[in-house]
Amino acid sequence: MAAGPVVKKVLAAYSGKLRLVIKNYPYRYRDFSRIAAEASLAARDQGKYWEMHDILITRSPKLDRQNLIAYAQELGLDVKKFTAAIDAQKHKSEIDADIKLAESLDLYNTPTIFINGRKTVGERPFTYYKKIIDEELR
């Protein structure tokens, strides 16, 4: 589960003052969480991380291999290269490292968002993040 539109709104509202970093924490028991994470990083290899990021969020749960390849096509990526990457789990170690980090932080929910290190758990309304960010900007 991604914060999707809320994070987008946050980015727009604080453009220039905010840096967004994405780490992967795919839930072991959801079928496509992992492969979707692979897809996002495979798209990153071809310079279209954020476009794929947005597609994955809006098209979820249609994140099976077939659909992911279709999205790569839609984005004009080198489909052969993309497919090879997700099939080979090219970015397994990065994803595993993110998971390890999440587990070391005892995260048990997604999205978990850290704003200058301040933790917020779960999908929250825009006003909630705004309050924290405004405090951080003071």
Partner 1 sequence: MFKSSFAAIVIVALIAFPAFAGKLEPIGAVPIPASNPQTPEKIELGKKLFFDRRLSGDGTMSCATCHDPEMAFTDGLAISMSYPTTRNWRNSPTLVNVAFQKSLFHDGRVATLEEQALFPMMSAFEMNRNLDFVEEVIRSVPEYVESFKKVFGDTDITRQRIAMAIAAFERTLVSRAAPLDQYLKGDEQALSPDARKGYDIFTGKGKCAECHDGMLLADNKFHALNVPENLEQEKDPRVAATRRFVAKVSGYGDYRTLAEDPGRYLVTKDKGDWKAFRTPTLREISLTAPYMHNGIFATLDEVIEFFDQGGGKGNTALKPLGLTTGEKKQLKAFLVEGLTGAAVTFEYPKVP
Partner 2 sequence: MKLRAMTLLCCILALSSIGFADEKRYDVPLGDSPSFGPHDAPVTLIEFIDFQ
Per-residue contact flags (x/-) with partner 1 for residues 69 to 108, judged by CB under 8 A: -------------------------------------x-x
Structure tokens at 7: 């994070």
Structure tokens at 28: 């072991």
21 belongs to the binding site for partner 2 (CB under 8 A): yes
Structure tokens at 13: 């509202």
Residue ranges in 1-20 that form contacts with partner 1 under rule CB under 8 A: 1
Q: Report how far residue 52's alpha carbon sits from residue 36's, in angstroms, rounded to the nearest whole number.
A: 9
Say which residue the tokens 């290190």 belong to: 117
110 belongs to the binding site for partner 1 (CB under 8 A): yes
Query: What is the three-class DSSP state of 105?
Result: coil
Position among 42, 63, 69, 85 found at the interface with partner 2 (CB under 8 A):
63
Distances (CA, A) of 41 to 9, 54, 77, 124: 23, 13, 13, 26
Position among 9, 45, 46, 49 found at the interface with partner 2 (CB under 8 A):
49
30 belongs to the binding site for partner 1 (CB under 8 A): yes
Query: What is the three-class DSSP state of 27?
Result: coil
Q: Report how far residue 5's alpha carbon sits from residue 118's, in angstroms, rounded to the nearest whole number.
A: 21
Question: What is the closest distance, in whole angstroms, from the C-beta atom of residue 74 to partner 1 in the complex?
Answer: 25
101 belongs to the binding site for partner 2 (CB under 8 A): yes
Question: Are 78 and 47 contacting, i.e. CB atoms less than 8 angstroms apart?
Answer: no
Residues that bind partner 2 (CB under 8 A): 1-3, 7, 10-11, 14-27, 30-33, 36-37, 40-41, 44, 49-50, 53, 56-57, 60-61, 63, 94, 97-98, 101-102, 105, 107, 110-120, 129, 132-133, 136-137
